[in-house]
Structure 1
Amino acid sequence: MLQIKEFNPGLKTVGSIAGIVIASILAFYLLVIYWPQSNPYERVEINIPKGVTLSEIGDILKEKSIISNKRTFTMAVKSLGHEKNIPAGTYVLHNALNNNAIINQLVHGAPSLKKITVLEGWTIDNIANQLEAILKINKKKFLILCRDKRMVRLFNLQGNSFEGYLFPDTYTFAEGIDPYLVLTRMVNEFNNNVSKSMEVQAQDLGMSMLEVITLASIIEGEAIYDSERSIISSVYHNRLKKGMKLQADPTIQYIIDDGPRRLLNDDLKIKSNYNTYLYPGLPPGPINNPGKKSIIAALYPSVNEYLYFVARGDGYHTFSKNEKEHIKAKKKFQEVRRRVQRQKNKIEPEGK
């Protein structure tokens, strides 16, 4: 009977085969990881939107010519276990010539930061416009967040929105950052600039911090020069004490749709709680986000008997103690305005 010998490779043979298999796998792994891409740039900026998939990231890189082989890129990301580790943001890649260099800079590199400056007197709408333009933050979502009363209470703030509490300053954020983080940073900056002594002073004035910030926002809307802030503040404090309507133009600018512009008589009749020509006392909340100087002015008004003020035409104001003086100052300003208009009319035909 024919004898069939069992195939019995030695340990040496098995080890050799295993070694070849392992070496092949390792070689393939390294080949994929270090696969050269066609990135022609020494430096290139790329934006990874929030919520995109790995495949979509590959498409973005390929569209920017950073990679030529999307398949090896996605394989390399998965092999390194970074499929879910590429955060959204704007990145600057330097000499990213292969998969490993690209992936390392996306996963471990910090997103590039962009500066945004919030000016004194900006409203939440102004801020939302700036955030959308520079950081690509959805304006509508940011405004919904700013007007969320539950969120306002969560931050232990008074009022119905974050108007007044987004502190003017220059900030740095990553593009596409969560708007909640932007809001938190600006409110924290507000809290850092409002000291305990300010809160005590507000209590001494018989005012809540919401009322102080509301008044500060009106001062911010009126004052151009710092030297006048405390004087403007005193006018409003004096009027409040006498029960007079504030008749503050910035509150009207806040409620018209096409401001800022020259106000009309009809504007002063708009039915709104913010209309200080119709309703006595402070409006229900701030009309912008005031800077620290206006907040201090609201807390520490000058001591005087002024009840009125009107623009002079040069950025400063004329302050009056009674209506007779005020009417005289208004007529003087109207003369200045007419003179400027006449000069403008003379120049325009010459320029045509």
Structure 2
Amino acid sequence: MNDNQSKYDQWIQNLQERKKEARTVRKIVFISMIVLIVIIAGVGIGGYFYVTSALKPVDTDDENPVTVEIPIGSSVDSITSILEENNIVKDKNVFKYYLKFNNESEFQAGTYDLTPAMTLAEITESLKTGKVYHEPIFNVTVPEGLRLEEIAQIIEDKTNYTQKQFMETISDRDFIASLQEKYPELVTDEVMNEDIRHPLEGYLYPATYPFYEEDPSLEKIITEMVDATNNIMTPYIAAISEFEAGDFGPVKEDEENNPMTVHKALTFASLLEEEATESTDRGVIAGIFYNRLEEDMPLQTDPTVLYALNEWKDRVLFEDLEVDDPYNTYQNRGLPPGPIAAPGEASIEAALNPENTDYLYFLAAAEDGAVYYSETLEEHERKAEEYIYNAADDKDEQQ
């Protein structure tokens, strides 16, 4: 009996111990499950935030361009690695999956100036098009036919620089020398002629310029515009070199055999830009100016008188024509010392490809802007009487 009781007690004790062990195991399993869930959740949340962060720009405040070279034949793996190495993307694998998810794979080899502030969408668009795609912080738009003083006002309106600072910078000899070194075929010693009012007049191409940094230097802003002029003029260099002596009128003894230069082409184009109206054929007017030069006639274009006067008004008076200034083409034969405004490509094209006519005169009717051409002074005066003076008298009577 005692043996049986002892066995029973031992069995009860063993059972209690097994229950205790089972409870301990269940606690361990429960705690382990909790820990595992927490770890999985932590990894998931951490991974989510990491991926979310990697999908954003590396540094939204860093607009400094980084030159990145994408070799021909580069795979997506190598492209994403190059971008990560240059700190353009945070994680190459995340960017790779981004490209795969968006089914992007056709990229252009080349050299790109990318910034850490660019989004993955902007980087992708840049690699697809071969051009850097990025939203600019601000744009500067320079319309055709503006003088430097007018461009200076635009810069003042768009940046923290004043008109005075702009005008001082474009006249700085050291800065001009740096442009001559960078663009030797465009910015020549002709811009430093003592008769020229502003050396870079006509050299800032009319266009819209995007800027991707908050405060670019004035030198950078101006250089962008000169660079655009260089890009426009470069294809015309060959045409300029083909001009022969006499194209700008009788060759003087102190002139070279080929008087045509980039500077003169821009000067000529600026006259066309200022004379042009919406209905004006620049090619015909260019031909008229060449005809006058060939006949050794003064060009007699009113915008040069206004530039000489530094006074801008709708009508040039007879007394204005007497102003003693190198830019006055009523008093001086040939081209003025330099451009009088920023010409667009249409005017540059017309200056180098004039239309061949026998016309020597033209006038634009004040009412409808129509342009009338004449071969002789008598014909020109007759048309002026009919379309300008009579029209003015009729208008006065109606009033």
**Aligned AA (2:156):** E
Q: Displacement of 1:339 after TM fit?
A: 2.4
Structure 2 equivalent of residue 290 of structure 1: 343
2:272 matched to 1:233? no
1:331 aligned partner: 385
Deviation, 1:115, is 1.9
**What is the Cα deviation at residue 258 of structure 1?**
3.1
Cα distance in 2 for partners of 1:150, 1:112 equals 29
After TM superposition, the structure 1 = structure 2 runs for residues 243-322 of structure 1, keeping only pairs within 5 Å, are: 243-313=296-366, 314-322=368-376
Task: State the identity %.
Answer: 33
1:137/1:177 contact within 8 Å kept: no
Letter in 1 for 2:218: P
Contact 2:372 2:383 in 1 (8 A): yes
Displacement, 1:175?
5.1
Any unmatched runs of 5+ in structure 2? 1-115, 119-134, 181-186, 193-198, 245-259
Supply the distance in 2 between the matched residues of 1:121 and 1:298 (Cα, whole angstroms). 15
Secondary structure of the residue aligned to 1:142 is helix
Q: Distance in 2 between matches of 1:131 and 1:149?
A: 20
The alignment's C-alpha RMSD in Å is 2.0
The residue number in structure 2 matching 1:124 is 148
8 Å Cα contact 1:230/1:302 also seen in 2: yes
> Residue by residue, what CA displacement relative to the aligned partner does 1:136-177 show, whole Å, maximum 9, x if unpaired?
222111111222344334323031311111000011235542
Amino acid at match of 2:391: V
Confirm or deny: 8 A CA contact 1:226 1:293 kept in the other structure: no
- SS at 2:281's partner residue? helix
Higher CA-based Rg: 2
Name the SS of the counterpart of 1:318 in structure 2.
strand
Q: For the Cα contact (< 8 Å) 2:201–2:339, is it kept in 1?
A: yes
Cα distance in 1, alignment partners of residues 384 and 357 from structure 2: 20
**How many residue pairs get matched?**
236
Q: Per-residue deviation at 1:203?
A: 2.0
Q: Which residue of 1 aligns with 2:53?
A: none
Q: For each residue in 1:69-97, what CA deviation from the matched residue of structure 2 results, as whole angstroms up to 9, or x when unmatched?
A: xxxxxxxxxxxxxxxxxxxxxxxxxxxxx
* Gap regions ≥5 residues in structure 1: 1-107, 347-352
Q: Structure 2 vs 1, CA of residues 112 and 220 (structure 1 numbering), >3 Å: closer, same or farther?
A: closer
Q: Which residue of 2 aligns with 1:45?
A: none
In the alignment, structure 1 residue 204 sits paired with structure 2 residue 258: no
Q: Report if aligned partners of 1:225, 1:316 keep a CA contact under 8 Å in 2.
A: no
Pairing partner for 1:164 from 202, 214, 217: 202
TM-score (norm 2): 0.56
Please tell me whether the aligned partners of residues 251 and 275 of structure 1 are also in contact (alpha carbons under 8 angstroms). Answer: yes
Deviations 1:263-291 (A, max 9, x none): 11111111100000001000000000100
Cα distance 1:320–1:129, how it changes in 2: closer, same or farther (>3 A)?
Answer: same
